[in-house]
Amino acid sequence: MELASIERLLEKYLNAETTIAEEKILKQYFTSDTIAPHLEEYQSLFSYFTISKKEELTKPIQLKSQKMNWKWLSIAASVVLLISVYTGYNDYQEQKEAEKVYAQTMGHFQFLAENLNKGNVAIAQLQHFEETKNKIFK
């Protein structure tokens, strides 16, 4: 194969534009014994692919099986449920206490309003008395 063709294919390979057939041509060229001196740096790249293809893993791969520990998950869920029920109950009790205080306050305001109304009636009688007195003394 002529050198210009190999250089053109190599340029296409580096730009990721080659086909599988063109890559096979480059692989054959760089695994052969006759390589141009200015292209020897690419020989290690293509020889690595052929060497790594022949490698086999002899050690078995141990995959860790991930078993979910459901016991701890259920305990955690129970604790979360108990905390939420306790918090909800406390909020409910606080709300009941607030409603009770509100009702007492409204009762006190009602009592205060009744007493103020008694005072208004007395003031109205005094005003009526004042008007009558002014009519008589004039």
How many angstroms separate the CA atoms of 102 and 55, rounded? 83
How many angstroms separate the CA atoms of 81 and 74, rounded? 10
Read off the pLDDT band of 13 (50, 70, 90): confident
Question: Secondary structure of the chain: what % helix, strand, coil (to 5)?
Answer: 80, 0, 20
12-16, 29-33, 95-99: which is most confident: 95-99
Least confident stretch, 35-49, 68-82, 105-119: 35-49
Read off the pLDDT band of 101 (50, 70, 90): very high
The answer on pLDDT for 1 being more than 60 is no
